[in-house]
Amino acid sequence: MNSPAHSTVPLTGNPQNTTVSGRVVSGAGGQLFVDVPRRSACKSCSKESGCGMSVLGGLSVSQSLRFEMQGGVEATPGETVQLSCSHDGLVKAALMAYLPPVLGLVAGSVATSLSGFGDGLQALGALVGLGLGLILTRALAVHGGLPQMHIHEGKNS
């Protein structure tokens, strides 16, 4: 679950923000749990049935993402709210999620290769680097590296 900060500023239609609708599933003491439906680009692609990504997307257990939002908006379960995040924050989150593992994978492989190890140990070095990159990504996310999300009342107009 995500634990971003909150804001109750009204929606302004800022083109620099991405806004999605979510449904409040529970809330108490200023804390809301909001489910946002997962969306896949596969529905808009003409190759949907012939692409492996649509198969992978269908393997997802949950068809929604649950966000934990802290206070600010009084909402009851079943009510629709808007969650927004800046585009810069989304780019930062994507880089934080994908860059450390990829760099770790490459660095682990290159380091073992330069050390003169064989293919088997190079593959192991790549896996170790990937694992360290994933650990770094998790540490960045836990220590405030996630973008700030805002919660707004009502539907986007």
Between the two ends of the chain, the Cα-to-Cα distance in Å is 28
Residue 41 has a CB neighbour count (10 Å cut-off) of 10
pLDDT in tens, 99-156: 999 999 999 999 999 999 999 999 999 999 999 999 999 998 888 777 777 777 765 4
Question: Among candidates 126, 72, 70, which has minimal Cα distance to 103?
Answer: 126
Judge contact between 66 and 102, C-beta under 8 A: no
pLDDT of residue 3: 41
SS3 33: strand
Global confidence as pTM: 0.61
pLDDT of residue 58: 62
pLDDT of residue 154: 67
Q: What are phi and psi of 14, to 5 degrees?
A: -60, 120
Please report, for the chain, the start and end positions of each structural domain, with discontinuous segments joined by +: 17-153
pLDDT in tens, 40-85: 656 666 665 667 666 666 666 567 788 777 766 777 788 888 888 8
Q: How far apart are CA 127 and CA 122, in angstroms?
A: 9
Asked if pLDDT for residue 157 goes beyond 50, the answer is: no
Question: Among candidates 116, 148, 6, 141, which has minimal Cα distance to 69?
Answer: 6
pLDDT in tens, 24-45: 888 776 778 888 887 665 666 6
pLDDT of residue 22: 87
